[in-house]
Amino acid sequence: MFLTQRLASEAVAAVLAGRNLTDVLARQRQRSPELEPRQRAAIQDIAYTTLRHYGEVDFVLGRLLKRPDTDPAVRALLATGISQLAWGRSAPHAVVDHAVKVATQLNGGYAKGMVNAVLRNFLRQKDALLAAAGQDDKARWNHPAWWVAAMRTAYPQDWQAVLTANNLHPPMSLRVNRRQQQRDTYLASLRAAGMAAEGDGEAGIRLQEPVPVDKLPGFFEGVCSVQDIGAQWAAPLLDVADGMRVLDACCAPGGKTGHLLELAALDLTGLDVDEARLKRVQSNLDRLGLKARLVVGDAAQPAGWWDGQQFDRILADVPCSASGVARRHADIKWLRRPDDFAQFATQQAAMLEALWGCLKPGGKLLYVTCSVFPQENEQHVADFLTRHPDARRLSLLPGMPESGQLLPNERHDGFFYTLLAKD
Ligand SMILES: C[S@@+](CC[C@H](N)C(=O)[O-])C[C@H]1O[C@@H](n2cnc3c(N)ncnc32)[C@H](O)[C@@H]1O
C-alpha cells in the first residue's frame, strides 16, 4: 500500500499543479510497468476519490495546517491520506503509517512528524471537521465556489441536482451495433452472462454495475461500444441516409463516428486536429467493421483539409470545458478557471463559423458540447443565429429537452445539442 499511496499522492499533486489526471496516470504506468493491475486500480481509486472530495479535503486541510504555504507534495500526500481515512476502506493506522513512510522520502523527510500529527488530528476530529465542511459552499458541493455560483445562476431550479450528479459515480452505458444485433437480443445476452442492465433508447443499454469491456459479450467483435446514453442522441439527430456525404468535424475517439456509420452507409470524413487520437478512431472503426476517411486538420481552417465539396450533414462535437462529464474526470473541476470560457467560446465560434461554409444549402449541422455552461452553449448559438439569416434552428427528438441542454443525472451525462438547418 505504501507504493500506491505514494503514486496516488504524486498524481494528485500533478493535477493540483495543472496537469490532466488521465495523462498523469498513463505516464505513471509507462514509468512503472511492474505495477500490478490491482495496484493501478488502487492508485486510480485513491486519486479519483481525493479529487472527487477535494472541496472537503481542502477545507479540512485549511483547518488542520498551521502554515498555508505547505509544500505542494506534502499537501497532496495529506490530501490523499485524509481522503483514505474519510472515504477509504483501508485500516486507519496503516494509512497513517504509510503516509509517514512516504513523507520520509519527500524533501529530506522534514515533514514526517507533521504528516503524522495532521492525520492523527484528523482521525480525532473527523466528524466535527466534516460537519463544519458542510457549511462551506466549495466543501459542501466539492466544486470551486465560482462553479457553484455559475450553476446557481444558470439553473435556479436544478443547480443542486447538477452539482450532486457531478459527484456521483457515472453509469456505464453501451450502444448496440444494430448492424450486428438488436438491442433486446444483446440485453438478453448480458443478463444471461449475469449482468443486470436496462434498455434506454433505440440502441442504448445502461449497466447496473460497470464491468471491464472484456467481460462484455462480443465486444471485440464489434457488437457493442461503450457510450453514454446522452451521447447517443447525436447520430439519430442528424437523420442520415445511405449515400450522404457527412463530416464528423471533431471526431476522436470516434464514439459518434461509429454510431453514424451504424445507422447508414455514408461517405464519411472524420476530422480531428490530434493525430494520436485519430488512431483511436481507426481502431474503434476496425473493431466495429466500419470505414471512414480520417483526416488530420483544424476544423476552424477548412482550407487545410477540405476539397470544396459541401456536406449533407456536419457533426460539430466541439472541444469544450467538459463540465457535463466532470464526474468521469474528477480533475476537471479543479483544473478549470473562470477565464477558460472566453477561450473555449472563441474557438467554438470560429469552428461553427468555418464549418457552416462547408454545409450544403438544405443540409443540417449539429452543434454539440459536453458542457453545462451557457457561454459554450445557448449564448453561443443565439449569437450565431443573429449573424446567419440562412440558419434555422430545428426541433430536437421526442424526449429531449427543448433547450437542448441535458443536465447530468443518473441516466446520462450533461450535453448540449443544437440542430441547425441551412436554408
Ligand atoms: C468532445 S471531443 C469529440 C468526441 C467525439 N466526437 C466522440 O464522440 O467520440 C473533441 C475533439 O475535438 C478535437 N479538436 C480540438 N480542437 C480541434 C480543432 N481545432 N479541429 C478539429 N478537432 C479538434 C479534440 O482532439 C477532440 O478529439
- Are 129 and 181 in a shared domain? no
Would you say residue 258 lies in a domain?
A: yes
Residues whose CB is less than 8 angstroms from the CB of residue 57 and which lie 6 or more positions away in sequence, other chains included: 50, 79, 82, 83, 86
Would you say residue 164 lies in a domain?
A: no
Residue nearest to atom 10 of ligand 1 (CA): 319
pLDDT given for residue 116 in this prediction: 96
**Number of C-alpha atoms within 13 angstroms, CB side, residue 139?**
16
- Are 25 and 123 in a shared domain? yes
Tens place of pLDDT for every residue, the chain, 423 residues? Answer: 788 999 999 999 999 999 999 999 999 999 999 999 999 999 999 999 999 999 999 999 999 998 877 899 999 999 999 999 999 999 999 999 999 999 998 877 788 999 999 999 999 999 999 999 999 999 999 999 999 999 999 999 999 999 999 999 999 999 999 999 999 999 999 999 999 999 999 999 999 999 999 999 999 999 999 999 999 999 999 999 999 999 999 999 999 999 999 999 999 999 999 999 999 999 999 999 999 999 999 999 999 999 999 999 999 999 999 999 999 999 999 999 999 988 999 999 999 999 999 999 999 999 999 999 999 999 989 999 999 999 999 999 999 999 999 999 999 999 999 999 999
> 346 C-alpha to center of ligand 1: Å?
15
Residues with CB under 6 A from ligand 1: 250-256, 271-274, 277, 298-300, 317, 319
- Are 78 and 186 in a shared domain? no
- Are 90 and 122 in a shared domain? yes
> 302 C-alpha to center of ligand 1: Å?
15
- Are 74 and 205 in a shared domain? no
> How far apart are alpha carbons 271 and 381 in whole angstroms?
22
Centroid of chain to Cα 315: 19
**Number of C-alpha atoms within 13 angstroms, CB side, residue 391?**
21
Q: 256: annotated binding-site residue?
A: yes
User: Which 3 state secondary structure label does DSSP give 83?
Assistant: helix
- Are 35 and 77 in a shared domain? yes
pLDDT given for residue 334 in this prediction: 96
DSSP 8-state class, residue 220? G
- Are 276 and 212 in a shared domain? no
> 318 C-alpha to center of ligand 1: Å?
6
Mutate to test the pocket of ligand 1, among 237, 246, 272 (most ligand atoms within 8 A of CB): 272
User: Residue 141, class by beta-carbon neighbours within 10 Å (0-12 exposed, 13-18 middle, 19+ buried)?
Assistant: buried
Would you say residue 378 lies in a domain?
A: yes
Q: 251: annotated binding-site residue?
A: yes
What is the reported pTM? Answer: 0.94
Q: Is the peptide bond before 253 cis (omega within 30 degrees of 0)?
A: yes
Would you say residue 150 lies in a domain?
A: no
pLDDT given for residue 106 in this prediction: 86
Mutate to test the pocket of ligand 1, among 247, 248, 251, 269 (most ligand atoms within 8 A of CB): 251
Q: Range of 236's domain?
A: 231-422
Would you say residue 323 lies in a domain?
A: yes
Provide the domain count of the chain.
Answer: 3
- Are 297 and 367 in a shared domain? yes
Q: Is the dihedral of CA 140, 144, 146, 150 positive or negative?
A: negative
Would you say residue 160 lies in a domain?
A: no
- Are 42 and 71 in a shared domain? yes
Q: What is the largest CA-CA distance in the chain?
A: 71
- Are 190 and 302 in a shared domain? no
Q: 250: annotated binding-site residue?
A: yes
Contact (CB, 8 A) for 257 and 313: no
Kindly provide the b/e burial profile for residues 267-286, where b requires at least 16 CB atoms within 10 angstroms of the residue's own CB.
Answer: ebbbbbbeeeebeebeebbe
Q: Is the dihedral of CA 106, 21, 159, 148 positive or negative?
A: positive
- Are 176 and 258 in a shared domain? no
Mutate to test the pocket of ligand 1, among 228, 250, 251, 279 (most ligand atoms within 8 A of CB): 250
Nearest to 82 by CA among 141, 124, 39, 20: 124
Which atom of ligand 1 has the smallest separation from the CA of 234? 8
Give the active site residues. 370
DSSP collapsed to 3 states, 376-389: HCHHHHHHHHHHCC
Neighbouring CB atoms inside 10 A of 19's CB total 15
Residue nearest to atom 17 of ligand 1 (CA): 273
Contact (CB, 8 A) for 251 and 284: no
- Residue 386 to residues 7, 296, 381, Cα–Cα distance (Å): 51, 31, 9
Which atom of ligand 1 has the smallest separation from the CA of 256? 8
Q: 117: annotated binding-site residue?
A: no
- Are 200 and 239 in a shared domain? no
Q: 374: annotated binding-site residue?
A: no
Contact (CB, 8 A) for 7 and 13: no
153's grid cell: 445562476
- Could you tell me the CATH number of the domain that includes residue 122? 1.10.940.10
